[in-house]
């Protein structure tokens, strides 16, 4: 008897189709843009335009941002975020890589190639490890794809780690990259290498040694409490609670001591001393977020001296600290922590007053007293969009927020560099109600 394989080709075709459909299903994002997240009680969004118009603006700007800043190169299937800055010798920085990985993971659905792009960004990050730990990224690369040095920058590592949690929530970890395992390893490395284990403040880099005077310094914009809550949840490490609690206390102290009217914090903070406080005063464990207040007791610190690290404005509200309202507001938006609300309330009241509710009056930098820095009467989206996210904290800011949205979307990307445009991209996602936690 001869067995005839009349139906074998059909069976192969059917199997291929099923396999292909399963693969597509596995690749499909679980939380595709737009998400239209219901934020916490009292949180507002621009209220003068439709959700569809906001979503369309975000999609359109993403396409421009991606085309301009996502570059292919340096290795097989690697992508990096182009550093379009004054230093023409740099190709990429870990800060920008973190921004890019956040953005692409959140925009999956609007971008059919998001996972491929994200994986390319991941491979570039892993191809440029810090010397101390391979799960932390070397902070910058030159045009020849070589690292500037082998040290990290904490802010870039924090965003990369959080993006890996987003990627796991978006696509799962059954593919070639186990996003969740990578996230856990990166989070552990950050806690070990980039957190002060005495004050639980955030170090500038993994190059800061325990016996260095810089061990008690921090960059204010590295405080990302919503990230740290996610790190706590996935790692089970209670030290992240201390990082959140102590930094809220530090910021409350800085506001009260150095900026009681404007509520601003400087780019860099030096000589941090934080001792334990009685349980229940600002701790993230004894009370739910809605009832928390930050107690600055037993805290001491000072604004950085001029030219401490980057410029003569290191002790002022400059191009690092401009991100603080956005980072803190995200914790209020997603988690409802009222310590964030208290910090933002001062900032919102001051910025609305000093600008007379006119976004065009926002300066690119301020003293801690709230005075415009000289020769800074130009637009800087990293300041403007961060104030917009801060405005989401209270319904009293509705008209101010509406004005800020219109002001932000009218600027073309060519008017700004990667820093402003990347921060604008992330903050437009938040403002439109499409930012979510893993």
Identify whether the C-beta of residue 124 lies closer than 8 Å to the C-beta of residue 74.
Answer: yes
- For 58-192, the fitting CATH number among 1.10.760.10, 1.50.10.10, 3.40.50.970, 3.30.930.10 is 1.50.10.10
Average pLDDT for runs of 10 along the chain of length 438: 37 41 63 98 98 98 98 94 86 98 98 98 98 97 95 98 98 97 98 97 96 94 98 98 98 98 98 76 44 73 97 98 98 98 98 98 98 93 98 98 98 95 98 98
Give pLDDT, residue 15.
41
Please identify which of the residues 55, 84, 95, 194 carries the catalytic annotation: 95
- Calpha distance 273→155 (Å, rounded): 21
Looking at residue 293, its pLDDT comes to 59
Choose the catalytic residue: 84, 111, 155, 331. Answer: 155
Q: Which of 42, 89, 43, 96 is nearest to 68 (CA)?
A: 96
What is residue 231's DSSP assignment?
A: H
Give yes or no: 155 in active site.
Answer: yes
What is the per-residue pLDDT for 277? 66
Query: Annotated catalytic, 76?
Result: no
**pTM as predicted:** 0.92
pLDDT recorded at residue 296: 73
The SS3 call for residue 199 is: coil
Q: In whole angstroms, what separates CA 234 from the centre of its chain?
A: 18
- Per-domain boundaries in the chain: 58-192
Can you tell me whether residue 137 is helix, strand or coil? strand
| Backbone phi and psi for residue 350, each to the nearest 5 degrees, phi listed first | -70, -50
Structure token pair of residue 192: 């070990």
pLDDT of residue 272: 97
CB 137 within 8 A of CB 94: yes
- Residue 57, CA distances (Å) to 52, 363, 386, 404, 428 in order: 9, 25, 18, 14, 8
Residue 72 has which token pair? Answer: 């292919």
Q: Judge contact between 137 and 92, C-beta under 8 A.
A: no
Assign 436 to helix, strand or coil.
coil
């Amino acid at each position: 008897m001869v067995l005839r394989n009349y139906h074998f080709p059909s069976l192969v075709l059917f199997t291929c189709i099923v396999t292909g459909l399963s693969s597509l299903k596995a690749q499909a994002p679980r939380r595709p843009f737009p998400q239209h997240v219901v934020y916490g009680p009292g949180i507002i969004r621009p209220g003068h335009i439709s959700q569809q118009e906001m979503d369309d603006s975000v999609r359109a700007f993403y396409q421009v941002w991606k085309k301009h800043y996502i570059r292919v190169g340096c290795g097989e299937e690697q992508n990096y975020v182009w550093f379009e800055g004054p230093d023409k010798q740099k190709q990429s920085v870990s800060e920008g890589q973190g921004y890019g990985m956040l953005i692409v993971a959140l925009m999956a659905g609007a971008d059919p190639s998001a996972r491929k792009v994200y994986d390319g960004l991941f491979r570039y990050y892993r191809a440029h490890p810090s010397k101390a730990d391979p799960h932390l990224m070397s902070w910058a690369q030159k045009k020849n794809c070589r690292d500037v040095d082998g040290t990290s920058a904490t802010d870039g590592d924090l965003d990369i780690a959080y993006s890996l949690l987003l990627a796991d929530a978006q696509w799962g970890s059954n593919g070639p990259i186990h996003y969740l395992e990578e996230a856990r390893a990166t989070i552990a490395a950050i806690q070990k290498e980039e957190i002060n284990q005495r004050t639980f403040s955030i170090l500038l880099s993994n190059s800061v040694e325990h016996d260095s005077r810089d061990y008690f310094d921090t960059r204010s914009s590295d405080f990302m409490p919503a990230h740290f809550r996610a790190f706590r949840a996935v790692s089970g490490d209670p030290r992240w609670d201390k990082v959140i609690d102590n930094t809220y206390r530090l910021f409350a102290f800085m506001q009260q001591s150095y900026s009681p009217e404007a509520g601003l914090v400087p780019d860099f903070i030096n000589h941090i001393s934080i001792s334990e406080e009685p349980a229940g005063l600002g701790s993230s464990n004894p009370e739910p977020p809605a009832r928390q207040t930050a107690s600055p007791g037993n805290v001491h610190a000072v604004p950085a001296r001029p030219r401490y690290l980057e410029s003569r404005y290191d002790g002022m509200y400059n191009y690092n600290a401009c991100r603080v309202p956005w980072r803190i507001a995200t914790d209020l938006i997603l988690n409802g922590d009222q310590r964030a609300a208290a910090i933002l309330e001062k900032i919102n009241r001051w910025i609305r007053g000093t600008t007379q509710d006119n976004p065009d009056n926002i300066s690119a930098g301020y003293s801690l007293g709230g005075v415009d820095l000289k020769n800074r009467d130009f637009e800087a989206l990293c300041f403007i969009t961060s104030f917009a996210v801060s405005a989401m904290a209270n319904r009293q800011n509705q008209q101010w927020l509406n004005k800020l949205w219109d002001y932000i979307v009218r600027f073309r990307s060519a008017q700004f560099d990667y820093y402003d445009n990347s921060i604008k991209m992330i903050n437009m996602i938040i403002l439109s109600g499409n930012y979510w936690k893993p």
